[in-house]
């Protein structure tokens, strides 16, 4: 998939978001090294804390299907700001990828800002510290 197609996939996933509380849709598209793409959307809950972010849905779908070889991740929102991953998601991403992993964040205009995981989570905690 081209970057444009991967972004379109994340944008389309916003339509599947279950967001009766925040009304803030997020879509995600996670690309593996062989080009396989796992998608996600945010899924909220009346009890609030069980809510899961779009990018974690995509990552957990991939992990549960036996995949850990991630190449890049697109996160799409409809706001004016680029939809960057929350702190919890940054730590979950950290578990499976290196510092140079590419994270592409989209705003509601479909504009993209490129980050590495290191940009978003420097001095991160990982298994080497245990």
Q: Which residues bind ligand THU (CB under 6 A)?
A: 19, 22, 24, 26, 42, 44, 51, 53-55, 85-86, 89
Residue among 8 and 40 whose Cβ is closer to ligand THU: 40
CB of 119 to ligand THU, least distance (A): 15
CB of 79 to ligand THU, least distance (A): 10
Q: How far is CA 10 from the centre of its chain?
A: 9
CA dihedral 66, 70, 72, 78 (to 10 degrees): 30
Hunting for tokens 């279950």 — which residue is that? Answer: 18
Write phi, then psi, for 15 (nearest 5 degrees).
-70, -20
Residue among 8 and 103 whose Cβ is closer to ligand THU: 103
CB of 24 to ligand THU, least distance (A): 4
Pick the catalytic residue: 5, 31, 44, 55?
55
**55 catalytic, yes or no?**
yes
Residue among 8 and 85 whose Cβ is closer to ligand THU: 85
- Angle, CA 16 vertex, CA 84 and CA 73 arms, to 5°: 35
3-state secondary structure 93-107: HHCCCCCCCEEEEEC
* Residues annotated catalytic, as ranges: 55
């Amino acid at each position: 998939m081209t970057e444009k197609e991967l972004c379109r996939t994340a944008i389309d996933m916003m339509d599947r978001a279950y967001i009766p509380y925040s009304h803030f849709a997020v879509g995600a598209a996670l690309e593996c090294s062989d080009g396989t793409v796992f998608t996600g959307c945010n899924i909220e809950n009346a009890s609030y804390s069980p809510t899961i972010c779009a990018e974690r849905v995509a990552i957990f779908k991939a992990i549960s299907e036996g995949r850990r070889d991630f190449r890049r991740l697109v996160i799409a929102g409809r706001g004016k700001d680029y939809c960057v991953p929350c702190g919890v998601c940054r730590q979950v991403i950290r578990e499976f990828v290196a510092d140079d992993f590419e994270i592409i964040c989209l705003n509601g205009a479909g504009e993209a800002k490129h980050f590495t995981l290191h940009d978003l989570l420097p001095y991160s905690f990982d298994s080497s510290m245990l």
